[in-house]
A and B are shown apart, each in its own frame.
Chain A
Amino acid sequence: MMSLTSMRIAILVFPGSNCDRDMMVAIERLTGRRPSLVWHKESSLDTIDLAIIPGGFSFGDYLRCGALAARAPVIDAVLDHAARGGAVMGVCNGFQVLLETGLLPGVLVQNAGLKYICRNVTVDVCDTIDSPFTQNLETGTRLTMPVAHNEGNYFASEDELARLNDNGQIAFRYKDGPAHGPANPNGSSLNIAGIVSANGRVMGMMPHPERAISPELGGSDGATFLQGCLEALAS
């Protein structure tokens, strides 16, 4: 097993990314090593152990969220990395981008309440296929992390949803927790908050783990989740 310090992690940066620094801070805190920030105009990636697409508004998202970002030069390099079985994680806008690239199935449409929503939610860790993103979390673990989005309402065809469910690709579902408000903040099908690819190597999620890394910021479940991912990828 390699040490966390020797992990090579790249965070993609689009001009409208705004959680890139937060993710960098969270990862550096957990690994002791600052991940590299890779500008969207780059067309290649160094050999990496994990690519992260952070939250934000990649290109303003005036079109479909993530649609322009999915066509940026750096995405070709991410697709190559994923094709080699490389790990990719997308958070919030990063999840939207992953759907637009086709690395994950389904779409994220506007929240059922038709409003942007920023608040803590609780997710339940599901019984998932073998995946570095969930293997260190017990099924049924509750994690409280914030969401902050306008388009987080996961939607897919009935067949696709059944397939995700049967394959164990649903990683997180919204669940009642200590936070105020309904468990499912956005109307997602099957209460989906995060999914993994069929091979378990690509994950997309709406909650922001990088914002929940210490008690004074309102909780550290995000750190628990990220730590688990990093250790699994390092082993």
Chain B
Amino acid sequence: MSEPEMTFKNAASMGLSEDEWGLILKRLKRTPNLCELGIFSAMWSEHCSYKSSKKWLKTLPVDGPQVIEGPGENAGAVDIGDGLAAIFKIESHNHPSYIEPYQGAATGVGGILRDVFTMGARPMALLNALRFGAADHEKTKHLLGGVVSGIGGYGNCIGIPTVGGEVNFDASYNGNILVNAMAVGLANSDRIFRSAATGPGNPVIYVGAKTGRDGIHGATMASAEFSDETESKRPTVQVGDPFTGKLLMEACLELMASDSVLSIQDMGAAGLTSSSVEMASKGGLGMEIDLDLVPAREEGMSAYELMLSESQERMLMVLKPDATQTAREIFDKWDLDFMPIGQVTETGRLVLLKDGVTACDIPLDPLVDDAPEYDRPQAEFVPHPVIESNTITSGAPISNILMQLLGTVDLASRRWIYEQYDSQVMADTLQGPGGDAGLIRVHGSQRGLAMSTDCTPRYVEADPRTGGAQAVAESYRNICAVGARPLAITNNLNFGNPEKPEIMTQMAQSVVGMGEAALALDTPVVSGNVSLYNETDGRAIRPCPVVGMVGVIDDIANAVRIAPTASGQTLMVIGQDKSCNDGWLGASLYARHLAGEPQAAPPPVRLDSERRTGEFLQAQIGAGNIIAAHDVSDGGLAVTIAEMCMAAGLGATIASPDGGNAHGWAFGEDQGRYVIATDNAEALIDAAKTAGVSICVLGMISATDELKFGEGDAISVVKMKTSVEATIPALMNG
């Protein structure tokens, strides 16, 4: 069968630019065939090559004594003590989830789990970060229902608890939802597996599910904008099989325990192409594969299709030469395909055979090292004005405003969503979704791992650098609020089309802010993912650089949650002093819902005091001086207090300050603050003074149903709870 000679037209249809096509011709010194061109286009896609983001990603801090493995492997690894490593990563599945929400989300979960167990870690927990369009948009209900069901469908079946996440709604996501999934696993620090191929002549083994015609060129699809024809891309979405995923996970972990594996790489985006190219190139070697040996689900698949398929639940590994028999027995036990398909070579080339002839013979260096890297132009950032509270506030009682805000989808309970996730399987979940951070026990020990995903896109849009820093700081706060010590982060940068200067500014500057915060808070970036071109018909999403953070708590008996436990406990705010009688309403939820969301600067992030406050909180939780803690975020103090009351089923009497601006004080989103409940207010005040941390008393928990902000300004806790619980069920059942 002869195929037509490739031209730039073919390259363009695969998303390559004219310059990139020229570079391929120059490097190969000939015209590539279809399979070779497919491989180049996949490896040079934004998704695989990070060509628009690399320059900025390089600026992120990636080192620290806690870091065992930084970016570059399947996932990052940090030391959590006792010879154990937490291995984690977040990854997006935005484009496929919009096209086919159930399968897109399910395979997102499957893919991130493979990234983690490929490193030799048993996955312990899942989180996610989701963005949907406006609640009343015609597609939101369908997309939300499908994505949640897909996340649960995969995670529940494979048996990894989903312990946290965040979900938000905004019209900018009407045509491009975001589905970011994070997995956290545990491994022995000295038993971490990597992907670099070793030992020329060693067998290359294909394991897992068979290869089909699904998801062909998914990585390229994920590197382009959407248009009206998006529906026609449904065939590029992969189909998940969590049962096979479970078999593959168990088989791989069993094999890794047998000391047979030299290197291993999952087949994620760009399937067999990226796995073979990355393994060989990281090892500085070559690889030869006989594609006729690849287990295929369908007959007559071409070399191009086999190399570009993104069928799920597949792995590529290099085994010790004498370990093949052991490995085969393990995969037989789990009824999975196990097929030697080639070998490691010294050639530095990727050679593929199909039907007995060479289907591809290309040097690896250009695929990886010559992958384009762009320093795309940025638009000048024009700061938004700082707005005074009294330009947007009214004299309405705090309780009225609180009730309005709690009735929005932004602050609605996510219970309808997270009850569809098994949050308890593995029986180590100390805190599932609904708290500040997910918290799991390190099985058989007193140690715990805390984890959180965060981003506030309206801050990032208003000021990318501050917004990038804020995402890190908020995650940091969520980890501190349960009493854990933040260790490191993974990030998922979701933006529009980087070829537009204003989008490039959002990405570059938010990465700068993220890096500054990660450095100041000693939470280096150990893994991550970039998702660009989140645009439909030229309209970009609100920028959403999500941070996923992991922390450790040495004794889980010390961990705290958000609910105060008894009346009489004092509520205090840490990170604010008693002179405060106003707050930062620019870019707040208050401004969004009550003032028409005027363009305004977001609250600044002060990294020095952020760290001082966070460390103070960790120490005081460890010392047993704090009964409950909740970080102050969307909706400010009033919403934070309301959430604590609702969690406790108790009321509170709060003293609002005299003078100033009551709404600013109640709903301002000034950063770096936590509300805590304590029986030791005096001791805390003394300790805070010593530590140089601001603190002040807000009021007291009461055995009533009333949250009071002074005389005549009160609201029923039951009524608030009924409201926040009703919103999403009403949206989904309506």
B424 touches A211 (CB 8 A): yes
A116 touches B156 (CB 8 A): yes
Which of A2-37 touch B at CB < 8 Å?
Answer: 15-16, 18-19, 21-22, 25-26
- By a CB distance below 8 angstroms, the chain A residues around B556 are 216
A150 to B428, CA, bound (A): 22
- By a CB distance below 8 angstroms, the chain A residues around B379 are none
- By a CB distance below 8 angstroms, the chain B residues around A210 are 427
A115 touches B425 (CB 8 A): no
Of A53-61, A129-137, A197-205, the stretch lying at the interface with chain B is: A53-61
Candidates B241, B441, B725; contact of A60 at CB < 8 Å: B241
Of B258-266, B344-352, B415-423, B701-709, the stretch lying at the interface with chain A is: B415-423
Which of B697-727 touch A at CB < 8 Å?
Answer: 725
B241 touches A22 (CB 8 A): no
Candidates B153, B243, B422, B423; contact of A59 at CB < 8 Å: B243
Tell me whether A175 is interfacial, beta carbon within 8 Å. no
B536 → A minimal CB distance (Å): 29
Nearest A residue (CB) for B153: A116
B420 touches A117 (CB 8 A): yes
A116 touches B420 (CB 8 A): yes
B149 touches A115 (CB 8 A): yes
Number of A-B pairs, beta carbon distance below 8 Å: 88
Tell me whether B386 is interfacial, beta carbon within 8 Å. no
A21 to B428, CA, bound (A): 11
Tell me whether B429 is interfacial, beta carbon within 8 Å. yes
Candidates A59, A60, A115, A216; contact of B430 at CB < 8 Å: A216
Q: Given contacts A60-B243, A148-B156, A216-B556, is CB(A22)–CB(B423) below 8 Å? A: no
B423 touches A118 (CB 8 A): yes
Which of A205-235 touch B at CB < 8 Å?
Answer: 208, 210-211, 213, 216-218
- By a CB distance below 8 angstroms, the chain A residues around B421 are 116, 118
B149 touches A148 (CB 8 A): no
Contact with A along B315-344 (1 / 0, CB 8 A): 000000000000000000011000000000
B335 touches A15 (CB 8 A): yes
Tell me whether A119 is interfacial, beta carbon within 8 Å. yes
Q: Given contacts A15-B247, A15-B250, A211-B427, is CB(A119)–CB(B157) below 8 Å? A: no
- By a CB distance below 8 angstroms, the chain A residues around B427 are 19, 22, 25-26, 210-211, 213, 217
B430 touches A118 (CB 8 A): no
- By a CB distance below 8 angstroms, the chain B residues around A21 are 426
Q: What's the tally of chain B residues with a CB closer than 8 Å to chain A?
A: 34
Tell me whether A84 is interfacial, beta carbon within 8 Å. no
Tell me whether B158 is interfacial, beta carbon within 8 Å. yes
A218 to B244, CA, bound (A): 31
A148 touches B242 (CB 8 A): no
- By a CB distance below 8 angstroms, the chain B residues around A218 are 424
Candidates A56, A116, A146, A181; contact of B159 at CB < 8 Å: A56
A62 to B243, CA, bound (A): 9
Q: Which of B156, B241, B335, B425 has the most A CB atoms < 10 Å from its CB?
A: B425
- By a CB distance below 8 angstroms, the chain B residues around A62 are 243
Contact with A along B140-163 (1 / 0, CB 8 A): 000000000100110011110000
- Further 20 A-B residue pairs, CB within 8 A, beyond A19-B427, A21-B426, A148-B424: A16-B246, A18-B157, A18-B159, A19-B425, A56-B159, A57-B157, A57-B159, A57-B242, A60-B157, A60-B244, A116-B149, A116-B152, A116-B420, A117-B419, A117-B420, A118-B419, A119-B419, A216-B557, A217-B430, A218-B424
* Interface, chain B (partner A; CB < 8 A): 149, 152-153, 156-159, 241-244, 246-247, 250, 334-335, 415, 418-430, 441, 556-557, 725
Q: List 27 A-B contacts (CB under 8 A).
A: A15-B250, A16-B157, A16-B243, A16-B246, A16-B247, A18-B157, A18-B158, A18-B159, A18-B246, A25-B427, A26-B427, A55-B425, A57-B156, A57-B242, A59-B243, A61-B243, A115-B149, A115-B420, A116-B149, A116-B153, A116-B422, A118-B421, A180-B415, A210-B427, A216-B430, A216-B441, A216-B556
